[in-house]
A and B are shown apart, each in its own frame.
Chain A
């Protein structure tokens, strides 16, 4: 007799299965790929502290590529690049901060923990639909013979564009507006070359977030260091990408040719190209988190946090999965999903989303995307250009000039500054 069916062995599903199985429930974890992580695409950095209570000393066994000890935010125009670069040794030792890891390794590891706890992982199996009786979800259909599986609770962890959430009427059939498309190349380079180009040693790694590298299509880019490869990619608004008629791989090609990025990727060999959707609507566009008999977690619920400075989906998926697994028994007993929603509300998952609810609009706004990169780059270029015998211009004059050149009014700057202050306070 199955108590909980978890659909999808990504981070959300594995975390949910782990907690429910630890609670003594009979858990079936369904995964469509041949092994967890085999079908999954993402950028590359996982923030593992969410596992502190669940898997003490997780950092000793997580399949890490590199520990991120250096984090840069880079603003690009076609010819300029301004980088704010931060590094700390603290992130290179326990309990660490973020690590680069491959999903095929990470998801398999986390799902392995669920299996160790007693969950039954069934791979190569697609949940093709819900079994609904009255208004209640009572199981799922799969693509296997005799494939109907019934349980008092279904946890949808099937990722962005969740077919289960759609079938339950929680998600509209199409919803491109709040989706971005992430595309990524993994480029192989010898480990020593990466160490040298990025100024790191041993298992230290770098996370570079980029703005202004997407031909004006709202979005951003990233470069992450793996052990002996780089992950280079862009994330762009799906609607605007379609309207622009630009192919996503052209954006990556642009990025790799940029004078600030080209020296990093020179001589690298393409190993892998992946593309995947990301739900970036934020708090105001979350999928309803439950319906009778079913909880929705991770990307399926739109819980990926994409707020300019942050692109965190895996830890939010894990956070929501843990909450679903922890509350599963109570929900089965009472038939009411309130404990799951309450647990999410009390955790960082909904707290961060709520606090940063204005971020997607601000970060993807036309000025932040298309005008401010040029403005700050021009301002800094002006500050550091030594034009003797002409005397140095004042900073305010430079700011005015840069704003004018980039079509920004000073009142816009003030308004966006205030809006940014409110969003990120």
Chain B
């Protein structure tokens, strides 16, 4: 059982434009939205909140452009709160992740039983926030989940492992879980709920704002220096021949088959060994 489920969701323009010439970044405040994983986090939070009969609070660190999305969340039955972020986009990206986690935890104003957030944000993208939040709260974390559900009284999560395998785990509360944008889709509110929330005021948390972790002196397009190449030597004919390899002798293409799969594999390995791509030992290992 839990009393408070908190969702930390980032709301930002998902298609920020960077001018390739000047490096100027433009963000459209009207396009502020949740990424697929943030939307999944909200949906998980709502599902678990209602399964436990707990309050679900959705917290966003951002500017007033996030309010329209937060009102939508409000119409889904969650509480919402915004931690105001000021400064330019670049400064925001340079924010100290740990300080941000501190500010978000302070804005919760209580001890949550479960915090759900996206595995990584679409633009900041370090994926470190869940760990910092877990550290601040002193609770366990289960990052990168593709599913998060209640099975009986247990909170069960599943995440991807290498080679297509999955890991299922029982998550003890309190915990911080980060989820991938997979498996669930954020629900839509009913019309009466949307109408009720349409003009609601989104509460803004008064918490100390984190400053930038690094001082940004400027942002501009990446312009690697041109590589100096030596001037070509030889006549143009020689250069052409070298480039095209026209007069060099070539091994003609080998046609293998039709053969069955093991024979084809042997032929390929022979070819690789013959041409020095596989050592004897490796071939032996590969063939054994």
A and B interact physically: yes
Closest to A149 in B: B191
Point out the residue from A108, A121, A146 that lies within 8 Å of B30, measured CB to CB: A108
Residue B185 at the chain A interface, CB threshold 8 Å? no
Please state if B195 and A142 are interface contacts (CB–CB under 8 Å). Answer: no
Please state if A125 and B30 are interface contacts (CB–CB under 8 Å). Answer: no
For A35, A104, A121, A144, the residue with the greatest tally of chain B CB atoms inside 10 Å of its CB is: A144
Tell me which residues across on chain A come within 8 A of B28, comparing CB atoms. Answer: 104
Point out the residue from B68, B188, B189 that lies within 8 Å of A35, measured CB to CB: B68
Residue B244 at the chain A interface, CB threshold 8 Å? no
Q: Tell me whether A144 and B190 are in contact in the complex, defined as CB-CB below 8 angstroms, given that A120-B195, A123-B68 are known contacts.
A: yes
Residue B201 at the chain A interface, CB threshold 8 Å? no
Residue B199 at the chain A interface, CB threshold 8 Å? yes
Tell me which residues across on chain A come within 8 A of B68, comparing CB atoms. Answer: 35, 123
What's the least CB distance linking B26 to chain A, in Å? 11
> 6 tightest A-B contacts by CB?
A145-B190, A144-B191, A146-B190, A120-B198, A147-B191, A35-B30
Docked Cα-Cα span, A145 to B199, in Å, equals: 19
Chain A interface residue count: which class? 20 to 34
Tell me which residues across on chain A come within 8 A of B11, comparing CB atoms. Answer: none
Please state if A147 and B190 are interface contacts (CB–CB under 8 Å). Answer: yes
B residues lining the A interface (CB < 8 Å): 28, 30-31, 33, 68, 72, 188-192, 194-195, 198-199
What's the least CB distance linking B249 to chain A, in Å? 48
Residue A14 at the chain B interface, CB threshold 8 Å? no
Tell me which residues across on chain A come within 8 A of B195, comparing CB atoms. Answer: 28, 120, 122
Residue A292 at the chain B interface, CB threshold 8 Å? no
Point out the residue from B31, B33, B194, B199 that lies within 8 Å of A125, measured CB to CB: B194
Docked Cα-Cα span, A121 to B30, in Å, equals: 15
Closest to B21 in A: A190
What's the least CB distance linking A18 to chain B, in Å? 15
Tell me which residues across on chain B come within 8 A of A147, comparing CB atoms. Answer: 190-191
Chain A residues 37-88 with CB under 8 Å of chain B are 38
Docked Cα-Cα span, A85 to B274, in Å, equals: 76
Closest to A143 in B: B188
Closest to A144 in B: B191
Please state if A146 and B33 are interface contacts (CB–CB under 8 Å). Answer: no
Tell me which residues across on chain B come within 8 A of A142, comparing CB atoms. Answer: 191
Interface string of A260-301 (1 = CB under 8 A from B): 000000000000000000000000000000000000000000
Docked Cα-Cα span, A146 to B33, in Å, equals: 24
Point out the residue from A121, A123, A146 that lies within 8 Å of B191, measured CB to CB: A146
What's the least CB distance linking A218 to chain B, in Å? 36
Docked Cα-Cα span, A149 to B193, in Å, equals: 12
For B30, B72, B191, B192, the residue with the greatest tally of chain A CB atoms inside 10 Å of its CB is: B191
Tell me which residues across on chain B come within 8 A of A343, comparing CB atoms. Answer: none
Please state if B190 and A120 are interface contacts (CB–CB under 8 Å). Answer: no
Residue A115 at the chain B interface, CB threshold 8 Å? yes
Q: Tell me whether A144 and B188 are in contact in the complex, defined as CB-CB below 8 angstroms, given that A122-B194, A122-B195, A122-B198 are known contacts.
A: yes
Docked Cα-Cα span, A144 to B187, in Å, equals: 11
Residue A34 at the chain B interface, CB threshold 8 Å? yes
Please state if B194 and A115 are interface contacts (CB–CB under 8 Å). Answer: no
Tell me which residues across on chain B come within 8 A of A124, comparing CB atoms. Answer: 72, 188
Tell me which residues across on chain B come within 8 A of A104, comparing CB atoms. Answer: 28, 30
Please state if A122 and B191 are interface contacts (CB–CB under 8 Å). Answer: yes
Please state if B33 and A34 are interface contacts (CB–CB under 8 Å). Answer: yes
Docked Cα-Cα span, A28 to B189, in Å, equals: 16
What's the least CB distance linking A229 to chain B, in Å? 12
Closest to A142 in B: B191
